[in-house]
Amino acid sequence: MTSNWNDEIPQSQSSFKNDKRIIKTVSLTAPSGAANRAVGSMPLYKQLKQKNPEFNTLDFRIMQYREFF
């Protein structure tokens, strides 16, 4: 199973009347215990964890955040 982590992140775009800007919003995983459980259940996380047993939920979040920050 191969998946792009970016496919799992909810994203949307908005534009406003009389404004040429397009605002892109991204929902990233929160740094919380509940989010750790959610990340741990994601197929991509499980795949990465299987390849590297030292990979953890923080590594997964950093991988997600890096593109946007």
Distance CA 40, CA 38 (A): 5
The pLDDT of residue 8 is above 50:
yes
pLDDT digits (tens, 9 = 90+) for 17-37: 677 777 777 777 777 888 889
What are the extents of the domains in the chain?
Answer: 30-69
Across 36-53, average pLDDT: 92
Distance CA 19, CA 16 (A): 5
The pLDDT of residue 66 is above 80:
yes
The structure tokens 């299987």 sit at: 50
The pLDDT of residue 59 is above 60:
yes
Tell me what pLDDT residue 49 has: 96
The pairing of beta strand 11-15 with beta strand 22-26? antiparallel
Name the band, by pLDDT with cuts 50, 70 and 90, for residue 2: very low
